Amino acid sequence: MTSADIRTEIRNLVLNHDAEGLALRLPKLTDAERATVAAELPSLLSESPLLSATVGWDAFDWTAGDQVTGRSEALMMVGAATIPGPAGAATWLMKRDLNPRWSGAPSPHRLVKAVSGRPPAWRADLAVRLARRIRRPDDRIAALALALLRDCEATPPDHEPLVAAWLSAVGVAKDPLTPHLLPKIFEAAGAGRALVNETLTPKPSRWLALTARTLPREQIIAGCVSRFLLGGDAQDLRFFVRLHTLVAPTPEESAGRLRDYLRLLPVAPGPVAELAWRQVRQARLDPADVAEAIEAMTFRPEAKLAVKGLTWLDRDLGPHPERVADHVTALTSAYAHASHEVRDRAVTLTLKHAGHITDPAPILEAADLLPPSSARQLFERFAEGWTGDFTPGHLPEVTVPGPFPTSDLESGPPEEIGWIDVEAWLAAVTREARTNPGSLRETLARRFGEHLRPVLYDAERWESPRDWCTALARELVNPGEDPGPPVARPPRQWGTAEQAFSGGLGQTLYDSMVNVAATAFHLFPGLRTIVPLHEMPGHVQEDIQRAFDVQTGPHDLYDPEGRPAPTPWNRLPSLRQCARPDAFLLSRLDELLRAAKTGALPPVLLATPTRADGHLDPETLLDRLAVYAESSREPLPLDLAQALLRLPPGPAPDLAERAKSSGSEVVARWFERGAPPPPEVELTWTLDLGSRVVPCDDHVLDQRGIANVSWRPVEPTGLAHLDALLTPSEMRPFRRVSRHFWPAMTPHHRELAAAHLAVGLIGRFDPPGIAIDDLRALAMAEGTSGPATALVLAYFLTVEGDDAVPPLLQLAAKGALPAEETGRLLGQLSRRTRYEAGPALPSLELAARQGAHAEAWTILRHFLAVFLPREGERAQRPHTDAVVLATDLAMWAGARGEIPEVAAHAKKRGSTSLTRACRSLHGFLTREA
């Protein structure tokens, strides 16, 4: 057969993807024919383009994968069978073009057959080279490398990924690789993970049985121990633990490795440590080794192993109680264990053998790691003269917040957006607009010239105080610049007359000129007789008249259903989208912006606080109202409403006469009668069952409880926007963009601010839109606390932990901590929502140590009544933790009185951790005087 014939034959087989034909033909090629075909490999590759070059993703044919596999396999067979050297053949087989990710792996059987015409040494060299290139058990080349190694019976290379690939591959009977690779499983990385699913029951699975049957016992035991010492997680070592268990070394076989087993006890994964414990426990150890082993066991985090260590300790001290000094470290290590059972056993053993402890200093030092109820027993036994009196910390002093800061216009918006920054900046802008307008414009132009968001005037709604402050600043710099929201702008019909009027100017400049004209007509009524408005195009007259009507129109910004009033200049968000306090604040900013647009900024802002918590001094408010009276100006309604809300709530009869001279009946009535009573907030729970909402039932633990906060409207104040603020929202607001303003908006009505914060806090949606700073602001406010404050506090105790302690202490110092409600709500959060009570327990202990021990006890007492498991519910560790902490706090607070839910558990049979803890607490609460 000529060279041309052989090239044609092989090419046809490749193009037809005839792998079987190639497997039969390639081994029969002569050396000369191999050389001829090898020279054609580049052209064969170009004539057989793979998927990446032929199939576009726009018209991907998922059946093409089989074609790619067939082409790549055929080319791999031809190259492996004809390339002269093993190194070149290995490089060809690993070629990226022949191994696309989306194609299947080539058949190792056909590839082995294709190279069967090569000398054995050549094939062995190729097999070893391919084996060394394996990187993972699922490498495409792994099956071929293993098949070649088996076919030529070559010695596998010392390559760890090869061992894992061999273990993961389909096994063969009487595998020639077993003698070479099986002994390497103890040291090869990835071997344990490849064997993770091997089981001992009902009978040893394949690899466990094969290893136990093939390798000598001594080799298996030594290999397992060495593998344990190398380390790894429980999954990596699971096979070797089961193999060691299957072999079951005798004490004689383990004797030479006792030091290794001792090294494994403190740090190895739990199953390995338990295995090591069994080997050490059955051996004959000297006292020093016993002490080392027991100390390692009590150091373990697993309660089961630590208990076994303490049990061993007790048995060791039975015949030799004088050895207790050797075990002091083990006992004190157990004091810090997370398990109540371990701690209790350690204390019991310490007291049992106390007569042989000559140096109690380590015991007393470590006793601080124990809960106070457990530590008390040790101090009573070992601390001479100890009285056990609890010395609480001191609650923080109740201090009056400092004076409200002033702004020099170089701080505040747009860089800062905190409520103090905004309030101080607004006061400074109003003051400077009256006393130094030129300097004000220069300052605002410099600070806001580069901070105007390009989309500010294109937004239909301004939901952030930053936007309103920016718009106010820009209005004072460039009056009439705001063209109004897009929805209010009429469509432009650019006719000849308008082009003549605008001179080709753009839409924005035209709108600005319309606003300037409207402002001019408002400020100078006689201008209408001078400017020939009637000669302008009709739609230009309409635009100017519309802007004039808006600037001089009423301030009814919301309709009865809470929607923004349909005025062209209204950029307020809907009440269905924002919270009531947000609507109140943004309406107040809108009121100020409207005043600026009409050139009627007030001489002074009434609502600027005099104290850093939002409080406003009554005499200061009357002084400001006098300024209005002198200038014959009417106060801005929302500014006045906010000012009244910041006054102390009680009447001020000594200032009532002066208030009457302010000219405002609302102000006079407010000073005479005081603020309206705060609303009584009610908290109810419902369950969202998808198709319906039903009252919450603690026995239905589906983690979907909703806390509903509501209150009855208070007596109307006569100020519409203030009455709206005092009215509960009908639904959870989607946004709380200025919630950090809220407590300072109602500085003497903490529960009202908390109620707005609590609306939707525990519901269907996450995140709730509230931060720990909101709790701090509530703690700073004045007024009564109720279920809303308790819900916010309970929420942050579960999600923020110790960060909630300072506000809790501040509320306690003010006598405003709703402890009973907080405790109940903590329990309800655990039962009805996804929030866990566990993180709150250390925080309550911290609060107790810092002076709020009585309040923390009250919280825990009512928490336990809700939280403890009921009939049919399973006790868990947080239940026991809570009762143990409650026992300590009851001692610190000198509490008395039975808790029925605790008593019920205390009277149960058995000796679970929860039962023992409840008996201890119940016994203390019902003790004789």
Specify the pLDDT at position 538: 57
Work out the average pLDDT over 150-159.
91
**Could you read off the pLDDT of 605-642 as tens digits, one per residue?**
999 999 998 899 999 989 898 888 888 888 888 999 88
Distance CA 773, CA 807 (A): 10
Q: Which residue has the higher pLDDT, 669 or 485?
A: 669
Q: Tokens 């058949």 — which residue?
A: 107
Q: Find, among 807, 781, 813, the residue nearest to 646 by Cα.
A: 781
Q: What is the DSSP letter of 91?
A: H
**Could you read off the pLDDT of 392-408 as tens digits, one per residue?**
778 888 888 889 888 77
Distance CA 444, CA 601 (A): 16
Banded model confidence at residue 731, pLDDT cuts 50, 70, 90: low
Q: What is the pTM of this model?
A: 0.66
Banded model confidence at residue 522, pLDDT cuts 50, 70, 90: low
Q: What is the DSSP letter of 202?
A: S
Distance CA 622, CA 643 (A): 11
Virtual torsion, Cα 553, 554, 559, 565, nearest 10 deg: 30
Mean pLDDT value across the chain: 82
Specify the pLDDT at position 291: 92
Neighbours of 451 (CB within 10 A): 14
Full strand arrangement of the beta sheet holding 705-711: 693-695, 681-688, 705-711
Distance CA 306, CA 285 (A): 19
Kind and range of the H or E run holding 191: helix 191-194
Banded model confidence at residue 373, pLDDT cuts 50, 70, 90: confident
Distance CA 95, CA 123 (A): 19
Q: Find, among 675, 683, 677, 647, the residue nearest to 755 by Cα.
A: 683
Q: Find, among 695, 685, 594, the residue nearest to 637 by Cα.
A: 594
Work out the average pLDDT over 500-510.
47
Specify the pLDDT at position 592: 92
Distance CA 316, CA 327 (A): 10
Specify the pLDDT at position 265: 92
Distance CA 633, CA 817 (A): 44
Specify the pLDDT at position 383: 81
**Could you read off the pLDDT of 22-77 as tens digits, one per residue?**
889 888 888 888 888 888 888 887 775 543 333 333 333 334 444 555 788 888 89
Distance CA 885, CA 921 (A): 9
Q: Tokens 């404050």 — which residue?
A: 789
Distance CA 792, CA 577 (A): 22
Banded model confidence at residue 511, pLDDT cuts 50, 70, 90: low
Q: Tokens 């006054």 — which residue?
A: 647
DSSP secondary structure of 244-286: HHHH---HHHHGGGHHHHHHHTTTS-HHHHHHHHHHHHTS---
Q: Which residue has the higher pLDDT, 64 or 546?
A: 546
Residues 6+ apart with CB under 8 A from 816: 750, 783, 784, 785, 789
